[in-house]
Amino acid sequence: MTIGHWIGGRTTGTDPERSGPVFDPATGAETTRVAFADQEVVDAAVAAASEAARTWRRTSLARRSAVLFAFRELLHRHADELARIITAEHGKVVADAAGEVQRGLENVEYACGIPALLQGGFSENASTAVDVHSVRQPLGVVGVISPFNFPAMVPLWFVPGAIACGNAVVLKPSEKDPSAAMFLARLWQEAGLPDGVLTVLHGDKVAVDGLLDHPGVKAISFVGSTPVARYVYERGTARGKRVQALGGAKNHMVVLPDADLDLAADAAVSAGFGSAGERCMAVSAVVAVDPVGDELVARIAERMAGLRVGDGRRGCDMGPLVTAAHRDRVASYVAAGQRAGADLVVDGRDVAADGADAGFWLGPTLFDHVTTDMSIYTDEIFGPVLSVLRVPGYDAALEVLDANPYGNGTAIFTASGGAARAFSEEVEVGMVGVNVPIPVPVAHQSFGGWKDSLFGDAHAYGPDGIRFFTRTKVVTTRWPDPSQGGVDLGFPRNG
C-alpha cells in the first residue's frame, strides 16, 4: 500500500511514479510507502488550495472559529489514536507522543480565539471628519513544510493559525512519518473544514522546490535542519515569498555550583534522552561550572542506568531512532567522540533493547570532558548523546554559548535569582529556561530561536504566527460633506 496525497478533500496518487519507504523503527520493518509528488501534483495541489482560499477568506470569523472548536474536540477525542500513529512511524514512546499531541492541541485552542486575534484598530477623527481603520487579511495559499521529529505538533504549530486567519494551507510533512498529517487532515474534514482549505502533499525536495517556486504560494513556514532551512529561506524569499524557516539546534544547559544537583541531573537526563534526543529543544550539551562536574556526571550516569530502551508501545522510557541510516550516523559520532579524546562514560551502542533485533536501537550515551572543537560538540547529532563540558566560571559558560552558531533553546540551573536574571538578559538564544530544561513557549507566546536556528523575522505560532499569516490593510475614510469639496493637489495633510 502507498500513502497518497490529500487534495480537494480526498486521497489521490496512491500509484505514484516515485515513492519512499516508511518504517516502524521499533521493528525495522518497512510498513508502507509514501507517494513523492512531482511538479504536476504540486500544481494540482496549489490549484485546489487557491480555489478553496477564495471562498474560505470570506467565510465569517464565527464559522471559522466554529470549525476550530470542532477540530479541537475531535483532536482531543482521538489523541490516543494519533499518539500511536506517531509511535508506529517515528518510534518515540507513546507517552511522549501523547505529550506532542497535547502541545499541538494548545495551538488549536489559541486559534479558536481568532475573532479576538484578528481585531484591527480604529482611529475616529484621525483628521477632521476622516476615520482610519486597519484590518489583517489572509495571504492566500501558504505552505507548511515539517520535519520528522514532531509529525503532529509541528504541523499543528502552523495549520490552525493559518487556517483561522483565512488562508488555505498546503502541508508537506516529512516523508519519514507521513501518516499523522493524513490523520489530522481527515479530522479537519470531519470538523467541517471545506475541502481544499487543507492539502497534504507528500514528497521530497521536488515537492519542496515546487512549493518554493510556485507563484500561487504566498508564504512558507518551514521547520527542519539548518542547511535546508537556510536554503528554503533563500530560495523562497528570492521568489518574493514571506518565509519563516526554523532550523537545527545545539542546546546548552548551564549548571552553576549553587544548583540543586539532583534536579539538574534529572533535567539533563529527561531533556537529553527524551524522544531519543530527536527534539530541536533537546539538551545536547551540559556546561558544568566548576566544581560541580564530577558530582553532576556521576548523578547523570546513575539515572541513565535506570532507563529502559525499547519499543515505544511497551512502556519503555526511550524508543529507537527514526531510521537505520540515522542510527548509524549517530553511532558514528560516538566513535568520533572517542577518537577525539572525550571521556565515554556511558556507551549506548551496546544497549539491550526491549524490542525486535532489527529495530533502530541506540542507547543513551554520555561523554564527559568534551571540548568545543570536537564534532560531538560542533554538530547537531540529533540523537541520545549528551556531552558534558567543564568550565571554570559563569563568564566562561556564557562564552561557550556565545561562540556557538545555534541559538534555539538553553537553560540555566541555579538557586541564584541574580545569576538567572543576568543569564536571561545576556544570552544570545531565543528561548531560555530557568530551572526548566525544555523551555518550549506556551501557545499564546511564540516559538523561535536566534542565530542559525531561525531564518526570517517571524517566530512560530502565537502572536507572531497571526502576524505572519496575515497582511495589514489600512483604510482611510471620509464620507462626503459638500462643505469640504474643492480640488487640492497638495499632499494630504492632517488637520
Q: Does 223 bind ligand NAD (CB under 6 A)?
A: yes
| Among residues 228, 243, 254, 366, the one that binds ligand NAD under rule CB under 6 A | 228
Rounded to the nearest 10°, the torsion over CA 225, 165, 135, 56 is: 130
93 vs 246 by CB, closer to ligand NAD = 246
65 vs 408 by CB, closer to ligand NAD = 408
| Among residues 38, 109, 131, 204, the one that binds ligand NAD under rule CB under 6 A | 204
CB of 116: closest distance to ligand NAD in angstroms? 26
Q: Does 268 bind ligand NAD (CB under 6 A)?
A: no
From residue 392, alpha-carbon distances to 52, 69, 98, 254, 397 in Å are 59, 52, 40, 12, 8
Q: Does 404 bind ligand NAD (CB under 6 A)?
A: no
CB of 106: closest distance to ligand NAD in angstroms? 15
CB of 249: closest distance to ligand NAD in angstroms? 5
CB of 386: closest distance to ligand NAD in angstroms? 16
Q: Does 387 bind ligand NAD (CB under 6 A)?
A: no
Three-state DSSP string of the chain: CEECEEECCEEECCCCCCEEEEEECCCCEEEEEEECCCHHHHHHHHHHHHHHHHHHCCCCHHHHHHHHHHHHHHHHHCHHHHHHHHHHHHCCCHHHHHHHHHHHHHHHHHHHCHHHHCCCEEEEEEECCEEEEEEEEECCEEEEECCCCCCCHHHHHHHHHHHHCCCEEEEECCCCCCHHHHHHHHHHHHCCCCCCCEEECCCCHHHHHHHHHCCCEEEEEEECCHHHHHHHHHHHHHCCCEEEEECCCCEEEEECCCCCHHHHHHHHHHHHHHHHHCCCCCEEEEEEECCCHHHHHHHHHHHHCCCCEECCCCCCCECCCCCHHHHHHHHHHHHHHHHCCCEEEECHHHCCCECCCCCCCCCCEEEECCCCCCHHHHCCCCCCEEEEEEECCHHHHHHHHHHCCEECEEEEECCCHHHHHHHHHHCCCCEEEECCCCCCCCCCCCECCEECCEECCCCECHHHHHHHCEEEEEEEEECCCHHHCCCCCCCCCCC
146 vs 470 by CB, closer to ligand NAD = 146
239 vs 308 by CB, closer to ligand NAD = 239
Q: Does 4 bind ligand NAD (CB under 6 A)?
A: no
Q: Does 174 bind ligand NAD (CB under 6 A)?
A: yes
Q: Does 224 bind ligand NAD (CB under 6 A)?
A: yes
CA atoms within 13 A of residue 109's CA, in its CB half-sphere: 12
| Among residues 83, 152, 169, 208, the one that binds ligand NAD under rule CB under 6 A | 208
Measured CA to CA, the distance from residue 197 to residue 262 in angstroms comes to: 49
C-alpha cell at 290: 566548576
Name the residue whose CB lies closest to ligand NAD: 224
Give the strand pairing for 168-172 and 141-145.
parallel
Binders in 232-251 for ligand NAD, by CB under 6 A = 246-249
Q: Does 144 bind ligand NAD (CB under 6 A)?
A: no
Residue 280 is among the residues annotated as catalytic for this protein: yes
Q: Does 9 bind ligand NAD (CB under 6 A)?
A: no
| Among residues 179, 199, 387, 408, the one that binds ligand NAD under rule CB under 6 A | 408
Binders in 309-348 for ligand NAD, by CB under 6 A = none
| Among residues 225, 237, 424, 435, the one that binds ligand NAD under rule CB under 6 A | 225
Q: Does 462 bind ligand NAD (CB under 6 A)?
A: no
Other C-beta atoms lying within 10 Å of the C-beta of residue 73: 13
Q: Does 199 bind ligand NAD (CB under 6 A)?
A: no
Q: Does 453 bind ligand NAD (CB under 6 A)?
A: yes
CB of 176: closest distance to ligand NAD in angstroms? 7
- Of residues 112, 165, 280, 316, which has the active-site annotation? 280
Q: Does 397 bind ligand NAD (CB under 6 A)?
A: no
Rounded to the nearest 10°, the torsion over CA 57, 60, 64, 67 is: -130
| Among residues 7, 280, 285, 292, the one that binds ligand NAD under rule CB under 6 A | 280
Measured CA to CA, the distance from residue 58 to residue 111 in angstroms comes to: 17
Q: Considering only 28-36, 79-87, 204-212, 213-221, which stretch makes contact with ligand NAD by CB under 6 A?
A: 204-212
| Among residues 27, 107, 149, 179, the one that binds ligand NAD under rule CB under 6 A | 149
CB of 320: closest distance to ligand NAD in angstroms? 15
Q: Does 200 bind ligand NAD (CB under 6 A)?
A: no
CB of 167: closest distance to ligand NAD in angstroms? 19
Q: Does 106 bind ligand NAD (CB under 6 A)?
A: no
CB of 235: closest distance to ligand NAD in angstroms? 9
Binders in 355-384 for ligand NAD, by CB under 6 A = 380, 382
256 vs 283 by CB, closer to ligand NAD = 283
Q: Considering only 25-33, 167-175, 344-352, 394-402, which stretch makes contact with ligand NAD by CB under 6 A?
A: 167-175
Positions that interact with ligand NAD (CB under 6 A) = 145-150, 154, 172, 174-175, 204-205, 208, 223-225, 228, 246-249, 280, 380, 382, 408, 449, 453
Q: List residues with catalytic annotation.
A: 280
